[in-house]
Amino acid sequence: MIYPKIPLAQTVIELFKAKGIKHIVISPGSRNAPLTLGFTNNPYFKCYSIVDERCAAFFALGIAQQIQEPTAVVCTSGSALLNYYPAVAEAFYSDIPLVVVSADRPKHLIGIGDGQTINQKNIFENHILYSVNLKLDLKDEKNIPANEDLPMFKNLEDKFERFLGLQKDIQTHNEEEINEALNFALLKKGPVHINIPFDEPLYVTVDKLKVTPKATSPVVKNKPLEDYLLNTCLEDWNSASKKMILVGVNQPNQIDKKWLNELAQDDSVVVFTESTSNLNHDSFFPSIDQIITPLTEEEKKALQPEILLTFGGLVVSKKIKVFLRKYQPKYHWHIDEKMANDTYFCLSNHLEIAPNEFFKAFLPKITHYVKSNYNPTWKAVKNHRLRKHAEYLKTIPFCDLKAFDIILKNIPNNHNLQIGNSSAIRYTQLFNINKTHKVFCNRGTSGIDGSTSTAIGCAVVNDKPTTLITGDLSFLYDSNALWNNYIPKSFRIIVINNQGGGIFRILPGHKNTKNFETYFEATHHYDARHLCRMYDFTYKSVAKDKGLEYALKDFFVEDDKPKLLEIFTPKDLNDEILLNYFEFIK
């Protein structure tokens, strides 16, 4: 087998293999050549070449999001590393194990004006779980620093022994730090950064390993739920007649159906879910804004919970955040092994345990259901909203809202849905999603910058087809995502093109002015046709509801290349129709 000659590069590659990190996304460069040579010549690794580092990082994030295992991105030195930052931040806030590996100049070449060199040490300081700056290997005994801190060498043998000792210390340090970083990614489920200095020559290879690094296993510390805390929670739960469970971003199949059924039977419990919660039950409330937005102050007071129990990642709905900050519960418990955000300014307990394990310990000990009309009352509201929702859709012209209704009804079963941020995810939240779908969205930072790249990463490691639903600005922003040789033929993109950032028309502000259209909405007249021609996608566009229904019938049929469907909607109508929607469903 071919190996890079540099021991440090060998160490990195062997430890990645020992830790089971298989997917390696590489952006071309020279300083990272030792890593590229090592990873691509080892059949254990599945390597991908993505030129644009920002797209590469989100592509890797999409893979890690799906397999729930560390996935690596590898780049050269300089500004290449900075392009990883948006995906690093998303991984940090979404608990996704992304391993950033950057090549760097040796220390003596930093800060002297050498090309393609920046200060890379701790560059992601505020958005990283663990960051390490490895030490440069000594190439030979001539590399031993000659300074006053080192003893004088009496002879060549003394000098050589000192060289071996220094190199051994460096090797030990590097192995320990690489192990620690990878163990953080494995256990803590978040991004880590390994910065690696390489000196020239960079392209020399050998056929035997010079090092045999030892992998250390992560120490798993299961923190049991204390009996006192469990009993206190049970006591409060059993005395409360209004309990709300709110679920944020949640991986599919994380909660046993047994516990979902148990919660659904309790009339004192209302379970609010989002599209990204991936929790389905007929008794749950999946469209939060449908319930919350039209409420009067009196109705909001009636919905105010005594206990709020939350789990999962960040919540999309702004309405529920505003509501719970004003009508705070007496107790707010958050279940998460890692951390608890005080989103509603009333956090009382952080239950440091996996949600499924909490329900397993908690629900069987509930001996009786509290008599309550909390759930039945809001179930009646929900049913009313659904009837009005269906009525309203029959009265409106073709627009964003109607397009989402048609799209979500016509996606075949068992798709992975990747939803773009901004208006795309908010429209999706207004509809009941097919229960066979799995839904994902980059809600850690809620940015529009990497939706397409993430979706392609998701598609690459999935047997089931992946469909991305995104807005025009998000799609155009991440158009380099299509510069990718690994896109499956089953991959589908649906672009809702309302000629700009339509969500800004819904927000308070001055509209229909040149200033607004240029600097907020970013009005444009572009389409995806030429990008599809360049990247070999099948392209189709529609601008009417009947045309959309017909187009979707063919859109999901197998083809010899991926497809993109662009839907044009009237930008001057969408905001009015959506605002009237919430008034109508009262």
pLDDT band at 161 (very low <50, low <70, confident <90, very high): low
Residue with tokens 């469990």: 230
Looking at the domain assignment, is residue 284 inside a domain? yes
Looking at the domain assignment, is residue 391 inside a domain? no
The reply to whether 481 and 561 lie within a common domain is yes
Instruction: Answer yes or no: are the C-beta atoms of 21 and 71 closer than 8 Å.
Output: yes
Looking at the domain assignment, is residue 214 inside a domain? no
Instruction: Answer yes or no: are the C-beta atoms of 124 and 98 closer than 8 Å.
Output: no
Tens digits of residue pLDDT in 470-482:
999 999 999 999 9
Looking at the domain assignment, is residue 212 inside a domain? no
**Signed CA dihedral, 333, 335, 338, 344: sign only:** negative
pLDDT for position 147: 45
The residue from 204, 235, 267 where one domain ends is 204
pLDDT for position 141: 43
The interaxial angle of helices 7-18 and 156-188, nearest 10 deg, is: 30
Q: Please report, for residues 70, 71, 166, 441, the alpha-carbon distance to residue 253 in angstroms, rounded to integers and kept in the order given.
A: 20, 22, 50, 17
pLDDT band at 373 (very low <50, low <70, confident <90, very high): very high
The reply to whether 521 and 490 lie within a common domain is yes
Give me the DSSP letters along 80-95. Answer: HHHTTHHHHHHHHHHT
The reply to whether 498 and 550 lie within a common domain is yes
The reply to whether 487 and 561 lie within a common domain is yes
State whether residue 415 is helix, strand or coil.
Answer: coil
The reply to whether 435 and 348 lie within a common domain is no
The reply to whether 140 and 238 lie within a common domain is no
The reply to whether 36 and 180 lie within a common domain is yes
Tens digits of residue pLDDT in 283-317:
999 999 999 999 999 999 999 999 999 999 999 99
Tens digits of residue pLDDT in 378-434:
999 999 999 999 999 999 999 999 999 999 999 999 999 999 998 999 999 999 999
| Phi, psi dihedral angles at 125 (to 5 degrees) | -45, -40
Residue with tokens 């801190």: 149
The residue from 310, 345, 379 where one domain ends is 379
Tens digits of residue pLDDT in 49-74:
999 999 999 999 999 999 999 999 99
The reply to whether 374 and 459 lie within a common domain is no
Considering the chain, what is the average pLDDT of its residues? 92
Looking at the domain assignment, is residue 216 inside a domain? no
Contacts within 8 Å (CB) and 24+ apart, 402-409: 402/545, 403/496, 403/545, 403/548, 403/567, 403/569, 404/428, 404/430, 404/431, 404/469, 404/496, 405/431, 406/545, 406/548, 406/549, 406/552, 407/469, 407/494, 407/548, 407/552, 407/567, 408/433, 408/434
Q: Please report, for residues 351, 385, 440, the alpha-carbon distance to residue 331 in angstroms, rounded to integers and kept in the order given.
A: 13, 29, 29
The reply to whether 264 and 352 lie within a common domain is yes
Per-residue pLDDT for 168 more than 90?
no
The reply to whether 373 and 404 lie within a common domain is no
Burial of 41 (0-12, 13-18, 19+ CB in 10 A): middle
The reply to whether 337 and 459 lie within a common domain is no
Looking at the domain assignment, is residue 108 inside a domain? yes
Per-residue pLDDT for 514 more than 80?
no
The Cα–Cα gap between 521 and 500 comes to: 5
pLDDT band at 148 (very low <50, low <70, confident <90, very high): very low
Looking at the domain assignment, is residue 385 inside a domain? no
pLDDT for position 223: 78
Counting the structural domains of the chain, the total is 3
Looking at the domain assignment, is residue 389 inside a domain? no
The reply to whether 364 and 414 lie within a common domain is no
Q: Domain holding 321: CATH number?
A: 3.40.50.1220
Q: Around 291, how many Cα atoms within 13 Å sit in the side-chain half-sphere?
A: 26
Query: What domain range is 98 assigned to?
Result: 3-204
Q: Domain holding 513: CATH number?
A: 3.40.50.970
